[in-house]
Amino acid sequence: MRGRRRSVSRPALLVGCVLAASLIGCDAFAPNSSGSIPPHPSAGLAGPQPIADVPAFRGSFARTGQMPGPGPGRDAKPVELWEYNSAAGYDAQPLVADGVVIVISLDGALVALDPITGRVRETHQLEAAVSGTPAISDDTLFAVTHDGVLRAISLVDWTQRWAQPDYDTNAAPAIAGDLVLAGGRDGALVARRISDGSHRWTEPAEDATRVSVAEGRVAMSGASSGQIKMIKLDDRSALLDETTEGAETGTAAQFENSVYVAHRDVAGGSNGVDAFDASGTKVWPWDEPEHLRIQGITVDDDNVYVYTEWPARIHALNRATGEKRWPAVHVGGPIVGDGGVADGLLYVVDITDGLSAIDTSTGEIVWSVPLDVTEPPARVVVSGGLVIAATKVVGAGRIVAFAAPSDPRLLEARAASAAPSLPQTSDEPAPGSVAGVRRLKEHHVDADADLIGGTAGPDGTLYVPDVANDRILVLGPSGDQRWWGESGSGEGQFDFSEATQNDAPAGIAVSPDGDLIAVGEAGNHRIQLFDRNLRHIRFVGRTGRGDGQFITPYPTIGADHRIWAVDAGRDDVQVFDEAGTLLGKFPTDGDIDHELSRPGAVFVREDADEILVPDFGHRRVAVFKKDGSWLRSFEASSKERFYPDEVNMAMTDPDGRVLVLDTSNRIFFLDPDGHLVETLSLNDAFGAIDSSGLAVSPTGQLFIVDRDRDRVLEAQLEPPFWPAD
């Protein structure tokens, strides 16, 4: 299970809400019969300028964050003009093409919205979901979907013009002349012709999911590498290829023959910004004074703006020298995405204060307006007098447009909403009334705790790590609570400090017979074994990437008391016997075809001699034989209408169905052949919850850790979500 500490980093990754796609305050238009996006007569409105195009992440392929503007201005707080909700969240930034707002959600819904009303103008369902922000060139949109395919979609007739496989699922394409550039599955940068998708060249790199293009240069970087590489486009000669010292390198921003790149690690690690000239020579470095984790940067004519996640601060650095322009600005926090700059205002989003506008010359917060957001990323676009933000609200998607209070479009919208309308009905069940989920108990816990993950023993006892206090909640079958452990590195002591950013720093498992308990600790880089009475038995592993070593281990215990240790930092599974002897590991080194990305705790399917691995980054369930050889995977399928977000857990029920839990709080039920048979939205069953842990017992007893409300929900799964007795 993924999550965060309440005071650090980004919000829990295991959060979500599945809602029916809707428009607030207006009805959706039927799709245009011609299939093209009709022009909107916005130029006839007095006051605001027509909305200008925003074809790429951070406003352009130079990735500076400069937006065409104008925004709502600084004279008064803006107000909401419209909003559009979807069942899935948004990782991709909204784009603007020919006066229409283009958004793609995490379930692959490509939607064109009217910028004045927020009404749907056109829709297209992609074969899989999208995380990386697409690129638009003329009338074609380029997006990499979660099945690793780069797709060219016509914005004229909304058909797919061509598709090419073998791309990184998080790649954000960029356009350079007649080429579309995007990071391949193996980390390299791949160039194809815009017209037909034919291959032009491939440039080796450690990671090229993040690409920027300007003045005949292309810079590439990514989340899996601390390297920044830059080449000339004409002959692909190297300009720069060096480490930034951080664990990952952000998207490079290029402006006036200079290149600015942020690098980051966990809080307390290497977090800073490097500036290079056009030849690749370093001009200045800057380190975050308290080594706070950097969220991103924005660059304008004068400054480089640097955002830290938590505490949420904004630094302004002289673009030429790296010197501070004004004291760091504190916003509510955590900051949850890259900002945008236009007309002397910097726009940022944080979880507490919402959307804020900051004067770029002084650092003064001009205004802040509420904006619901519970997890990153939040992306903003500033154009035509509007700020348009894409957010996640408990996992669901939300697009919100803000305008100045005096904007005539706002007055028009208010007049329209005041008109009489027919009452709306819905067949959707009220939260808590989903057939097949019988709610049992609600257990409230210490408000100072920060619970992540959890496992249920065979007797119904629940064990949940408290990562804020380095202890474990033990919730008995009768509802009695006690705390186990304390901070430290000795026997029975725990260190649940974060080792790999945004991966749960603790894991716990109980053997099927209840005799053996394993606790994984990211801070101590080890697994501890205990007996059923919580008496310490031994330590397994130590810090490192070699055999028998750990970064962020998550244990599972099989019926034979073998320890299956998944490591989100190593992206592999190591197998130990009860004595702590290493028996093997998988995938094997060099097995590129079956790589894992930030895997979660495995499920041992004893009856089939199989291991199910939640492959979080690849949004799938990877299936191996117990000997470590590859079998198959359960991943997104348009035929099955199966579009999982990042996968947090996989298991089987007594009938052999595979249960797949994703970060949008959905449990998908697949038959053994991978056909989708049921989908359970936990938010439909329990209302909006900040779920940071989930456990299912062998009898279908369900436990959900709701960290925002400091409680554990207990329920019983029944048909169709669990076999009848």
Burial of 262 (0-12, 13-18, 19+ CB in 10 A): buried
H/E run at residue 231: strand 227-232
In a domain, 356, yes or no: yes
Q: Where are any strands of DSSP class E within 12-118?
A: 22-24, 79-86, 95-97, 100-104, 109-113
Bridge partner residues of 573 (DSSP)? 566, 586
Provide the CATH number for the domain around residue 466.
2.120.10.30
Q: Are residues 389 and 445 in the same domain?
A: no
Asked if pLDDT for residue 558 goes beyond 80, the answer is yes
Q: Note whether 122 and 211 are same-domain residues.
A: yes
Alpha carbon of residue 85 to chain centroid: 18
Residue 340 within a domain: yes
| Lookup: tokens for 128 | 């899989």
427 domain-assigned = no
Whether residue 6 lies inside any domain: the answer is: no
Q: In the predicted model, is pLDDT for residue 152 greater than 80? A: yes
Are 372 and 447 part of one and the same domain?
Answer: no
Question: Which residues does 46 contact at the CB level (< 8 Å), separation at least 6?
Answer: 408
**Domain extent for 83:** 31-39+47-412
Within this chain, do residues 503 and 379 fall inside the same structural domain, yes or no? Answer: no
Same domain, residue pair 515 and 366: no
- State whether 452 and 600 are in the same domain: yes
Among 149, 151, 153, 213, which residue's Cα sits nearest to residue 185?
A: 149
Which one of 360, 377, 412 terminates a domain? 412
Answer whether residue 678 shows pLDDT above 50.
yes
Q: For 509-518, write each residue's pLDDT tens digit.
A: 999 999 999 9
Distance CA 11, CA 691 (A): 11
Residue 258's pLDDT is what? Answer: 96
Interval 265-292: pLDDT, tens: 988 899 999 999 999 999 999 999 999 9
Per-residue pLDDT tens over the stretch 686-711 = 887 878 899 999 899 999 999 888 99
- Whether residue 178 lies inside any domain: the answer is yes
- Note the pLDDT tens digit of each residue in 323-371: 999 999 999 889 998 899 999 999 999 999 999 999 999 999 999 999 9
Q: Which residue do the tokens 């154009």 mark?
A: 383
Structure tokens at 437: 């989920």
Instruction: Report residue 409's pLDDT band, with 50, 70 and 90 as the boundaries.
Output: confident
385 and 453 co-located in one domain = no
Neighbours of 54 (CB within 10 A): 25
4 — pLDDT class (breaks 50, 70, 90): very low
The answer to whether residue 3 sits within a structural domain is: no
Distance of CA 369 to the CA centre of its chain: 24
The CATH code of the domain that includes 85 is 2.130.10.10
Whether residue 576 is predicted with pLDDT greater than 80 in this model: the reply is: yes
In a domain, 326, yes or no: yes
For position 639, what pLDDT does the model report? Answer: 74
Q: Which amino acid is at 486?
A: E
Phi-psi label, residue 724: left if phi above 0, alpha if psi -120 to 50, beta otherwise: beta
- In the chain, what percentage of residues exceed pLDDT 90? 73
**Residue 547 falls inside a structural domain:** yes
Chain-centroid distance, C-alpha 188: 22
> Is 106:131 a contact under the CB 8 Å cutoff?
yes
Task: For residue 711, give both structure tokens.
Answer: 């409680």
- Tens digits of per-residue pLDDT, 210-268? 999 999 999 999 988 999 999 999 999 999 999 998 889 999 999 999 999 999 998 88
On whether both 597 and 564 belong to a single domain, the answer is yes
Q: If you average pLDDT over residues 527-541, what whole number do you get?
A: 96
pTM of the model: 0.71
- Alpha-carbon distance 481 to 445, whole Å? 8
CB 630 within 8 A of CB 646: no
Residues 88 and 223 in one domain: yes
Q: Rounded distance, CA 614 to CA 633, Å?
A: 10
* Statement to judge: residues 154 and 56 lie in one domain: yes
> Do 442 and 404 share a structural domain?
no
pLDDT for residue 88 is more than 90: no
Looking only at the bridges linking them, the beta strands covering 79-86 and 486-487 are unpaired
Query: What's residue 417's pLDDT?
Result: 55
Which has the higher per-residue pLDDT, 111 or 4? Answer: 111
Same domain, 505 and 448: yes
Q: In what order do the strands lie in the sheet with 471-475?
A: 455-456, 462-466, 471-475, 481-484
Number of compact structural domains in the chain: 2
